[in-house]
Amino acid sequence: MYAEIILPVPLPVVLTYRIPDGLMVKTGMRVEVPLGKKTVHKGMVLRTFSGKPEMEGIRDILSVLDPYPLVGEAQLKFWIWLADYYMCTLGEVYRTAMPRGLKQSYSPRYETFTGISSPFRSEDALNEIMDKLGRAPGQLRILQHLVELLIGGGGLEGGIPRADLSAGKGFSPSAYRGLLSKKILTEYNERTLRMPDEKRSLQSPNTLTPPQQDALDEIRSLFDRKPVVLLKGVTSSGKTEIYIRLIAEMLERKKQVLYLLPEIALTVQIIQRLKNVFGDAVGIYHSKYSDAERVETFLRSRENPLGSKYGVILGARSAVFLPFRDLGLVIIDEEHEQSYKQGDPAPRYHARDAAIVLAGIHSAKVLLGSATPSFESYYNARSGKYGLVELGERYGKISQPEIILANLREAYRKKRMVSHFTPELFHLMQVTLEEDRQMILFQNRRGFSPYIQCLDCGWIPGCSQCDVSLVYHKQENSLVCHYCGHNEHVPSVCGECGGSHMVTRGFGTEKLEEEVEILFPGTSIARMDLDTTRSRRKYEKIIRDFESGNTQILVGTQIVTKGLDFDHVALVGVLHADNMLNFPDFRSHERSFQLISQVAGRSGRKERRGKVVIQTSLPEHPVIRHILDNDYHAMYLNQMEDRKGFHYPPYYRLIRITLRHADKNLLDRASARLTGELKVRLAKSGRMPRGPFPEILGPQSPVVGKVQQMHLMTILVKLPRTPEIAKSKEIIGEVIEKTRSYRRYGKLFIIPDVDPY
């Protein structure tokens, strides 16, 4: 017997190994195999087969690591699709899919339990030994306490954690050891969970409003005809309550549910709502948990030696890789969020799109939810590929927030700015604090200042490894590169002319927080960005403090726009809307509309109507006008016309090819050659007769042309949505591999990114 093994390395093929006699090997198990002269890898069995392959030098599997398969056929089929669609290797998919603990060293947790030795478990024997312990009061107290705990748990059989016993009053370690030496008590080790189940009383789901019930009924009806349904519900319309009803129906049918969220921070709020209804059936899976905790959630999503399995998994994008037993429903909340797209490393997958394929493999249903859907999803819904359900009323009939435009250009010209605030926003901030209500201030840039500059010669400190200026972080008194992480001390003099007139330019969330503290002394302020939420506990504390009212002002980046639900936010301030509108990307207008609309939706969710102030120098910009009118549909139609004319999604598919090399001249030659060969090969095939052609743009240097000492060039391929698209991708892959094989290019990296948005 032989086995094909996926190894956690970017090999273009899977390797074949012989199964030694007596070794039980099944598809989906991990095995240890040799690679090269000394290396041993933990690989995954893709399939087993009989009959010797026509190849020499086949080596033996060294050992089997699992008593049963960790992943099933459906999950392996999903991995194969990911590798094919996103133009990467199975090894790269395996490396991302498996928790690090299962690729390295995961050790199950064992806990010491204490019980009563079997000869003393009868009532008579127990009374007799207690009488004899009258002269050893310390031992007697421990035994009595243990009996109470055991009876409270259901009987004298088994044991309780030693830690629970030792927490009792008057516990004496020496007395405890005496009971063990007399063999009255016994100790044993038992495997336990790092995230133990919580025993809590469950609540019934909230009663749905008539609009919510109508939406739920329509979703159920559409699921009979469509595998995917888009729920377009305005902010604060109560989409989560609809999700909860659908989850309950799936659990009744013994089906599993995957609930995806774009940001880890959102799980803090949602997990409590789900656990209140579904209790220990809910598991959490994301990168802020430890390796061992992620392994246990991975195991409990399929089979688990402790017998405790999850019916609902709540997680960020990596949760699509869990080995579900019987997936029935996938919920993708805030489906428009770009956080669902993986950048580095490969596979560069989009969790929304991948989850739809995963659901198809399991014959499961998919519900996409958003107040501002991605234009691709809305296009699919309007064209009939997806079902579409709209929920246009806020829960409790709360009005949409009032949106106020504040002209930055005019405020600066008339010298009416208060720090970074227009008169309109500053006045409403004062009113909000006087009324003891809360506010959110959104600035889509972290750090204190985007850069510092010499007033004498104009010099700006840049990163030594990347083509970007260094961002000033005041709290650490350092200049940081947001691309490679390089940091250095703030110079006291100019590195160009030696002058001492160094000033900050622009502002980020750190500076905004400081300015608010100066303007409103004594006000409780919190900042929520990448710098303040690096650990699970930190972002949980920020959210809980704001929920409870301990924080009055929350300053943050995009993270504050993503579906957080706060009851008492009266005001939202968007500090500089123009930054997003002017970003050089075909999606900049769509994303600006989504970001500003989403952050506006945090205002006025309960009680009276909220207010939103958008500070902009472009008050007549079409996107700003669409936001002001709350007109998603008009925004969509406007953008679709441009997308169709310029051959962008959803009408075309994009593949961005990035080339990296330390030698700029060599990179230029390699990228020009790759582009030329692509044009020749794709012109000959990969299109329908008289149909649309693939388009190739570039090569060109990106906005940031050098990162970590490596120069970058990009090529953008636009592929028409025709049956030949798979053939075109195959040609692109062949040209990339051929270019990689040229020795003269040395350490040239070529990275294809399918759907790079």
Specify the range with the lowest mean pLDDT, choosing from 198-207, 319-328, 720-729: 198-207
- Is residue 152, in this structure, part of any structural domain at all? yes
Question: According to the model, what pLDDT value does residue 688 have?
Answer: 42
CA distance 572 to 397: 20
Q: Please state the rounded mean pLDDT for residues 727-733.
A: 94
Question: According to the model, what pLDDT value does residue 560 have?
Answer: 79
For 656, phi then psi, to 5°, come to -100, 125
Q: Please state the rounded mean pLDDT for residues 540-557.
A: 90
> In terms of domains, do 424 and 555 share one?
yes
Q: Please state the rounded mean pLDDT for residues 447-454.
A: 88
> In terms of domains, do 125 and 168 share one?
yes
CA distance 602 to 563: 8
Structure tokens at 126: 């127990």
**Enclosing domain of residue 470:** 449-506
* φ/ψ bin of 746: left (φ > 0), alpha (ψ from -120 to 50), beta (otherwise): left
Question: According to the model, what pLDDT value does residue 392 have?
Answer: 87
> In terms of domains, do 611 and 491 share one?
no
Examine the pLDDT at 134 and tell me if it is beyond 60. Answer: yes
Q: Are strands 652-661 and 749-754 parallel, antiparallel or unpaired?
A: antiparallel
Greatest mean pLDDT among 393-397, 533-537, 539-543, 698-702: 698-702
Look at residues 64, 98, 132 and tell me which one is the last residue of a structural domain. Answer: 98
- Is residue 396, in this structure, part of any structural domain at all? no
Contact between 295 and 97 under an 8 Å Cβ cutoff? The reply is no
- Is residue 531, in this structure, part of any structural domain at all? yes
Angle subtended at Cα 628 by Cα 625 and Cα 632, rounded to the nearest 5 degrees: 80
3-state secondary structure of 461: coil
Which positions ≥6 away from 64 have C-beta within 8 Å? 23, 24, 25, 29, 30, 31
- H helix intervals, 601-692: 622-629, 632-645, 664-684
> In terms of domains, do 407 and 544 share one?
yes
Examine the pLDDT at 663 and tell me if it is beyond 90. Answer: yes
Beta bridge partners of 41: 33
> In terms of domains, do 78 and 141 share one?
no
Beta bridge partners of 452: 504
> In terms of domains, do 22 and 118 share one?
no
Q: Please state the rounded mean pLDDT for residues 621-626.
A: 93
Single-letter residue type at 10: P
Question: According to the model, what pLDDT value does residue 132 have?
Answer: 87
The band of 605, judged by pLDDT with boundaries at 50, 70 and 90, is: low
Exposure string of 489-505, with b = 16+ CB inside 10 Å and e = fewer, is ebeeebeeeeeeebebe
Question: According to the model, what pLDDT value does residue 755 have?
Answer: 96
> In terms of domains, do 17 and 123 share one?
no
CA distance 350 to 756: 9
Rounded percentage of the chain residues whose pLDDT exceeds 90: 61
- Average per-residue pLDDT in the chain? 90
Q: What is the DSSP letter of 34?
A: E
- Domain count within the chain: 6
- Is residue 511, in this structure, part of any structural domain at all? no
User: Residue 94 sits in a domain of what CATH number?
Assistant: 3.40.1440.60
**Residue that has been written with the tokens 């009563």 in this structure:** 116
> In terms of domains, do 438 and 454 share one?
no
Q: Please state the rounded mean pLDDT for residues 26-41.
A: 93
Examine the pLDDT at 330 and tell me if it is beyond 50. Answer: yes
Per residue in 252-284, pLDDT (tens digit) is: 999 999 999 988 766 777 888 898 999 889 999
Contact between 524 and 542 under an 8 Å Cβ cutoff? The reply is no
> In terms of domains, do 590 and 621 share one?
yes
User: Residue 667 sits in a domain of what CATH number?
Assistant: 3.30.70.600
The band of 606, judged by pLDDT with boundaries at 50, 70 and 90, is: low
* Higher per-residue pLDDT: 688 or 350: 350
Single-letter residue type at 323: P
- Is residue 355, in this structure, part of any structural domain at all? no
> In terms of domains, do 561 and 459 share one?
no
- Is residue 393, in this structure, part of any structural domain at all? no
Q: Please state the rounded mean pLDDT for residues 377-385.
A: 97
- Is residue 171, in this structure, part of any structural domain at all? yes
Beta bridge partners of 750: 659
The band of 689, judged by pLDDT with boundaries at 50, 70 and 90, is: very low
Examine the pLDDT at 537 and tell me if it is beyond 90. Answer: no
> In terms of domains, do 315 and 376 share one?
yes
Contact between 46 and 71 under an 8 Å Cβ cutoff? The reply is no
Examine the pLDDT at 218 and tell me if it is beyond 50. Answer: yes
- Classify burial at 88, counting beta carbons within 10 Å of its beta carbon; exposed 0-12, middle 13-18, buried 19 or more: buried
Task: Identify whether 347 is preceded by a cis peptide bond (ω within 30 of 0).
Answer: yes
The band of 197, judged by pLDDT with boundaries at 50, 70 and 90, is: low
Examine the pLDDT at 690 and tell me if it is beyond 70. Answer: no
Q: Please state the rounded mean pLDDT for residues 334-345.
A: 93
* φ/ψ bin of 372: left (φ > 0), alpha (ψ from -120 to 50), beta (otherwise): beta
CA distance 258 to 524: 37
Examine the pLDDT at 686 and tell me if it is beyond 60. Answer: no
Q: Are strands 402-407 and 652-661 parallel, antiparallel or unpaired?
A: unpaired
- Is residue 43, in this structure, part of any structural domain at all? yes
Question: According to the model, what pLDDT value does residue 632 have?
Answer: 95
User: Residue 339 sits in a domain of what CATH number?
Assistant: 3.40.50.300
Per residue in 12-24, pLDDT (tens digit) is: 889 999 999 999 9
> In terms of domains, do 177 and 301 share one?
no
Q: Please state the rounded mean pLDDT for residues 618-639.
A: 93
Contact between 42 and 103 under an 8 Å Cβ cutoff? The reply is yes
Q: Please state the rounded mean pLDDT for residues 566-582.
A: 87
Examine the pLDDT at 473 and tell me if it is beyond 80. Answer: yes
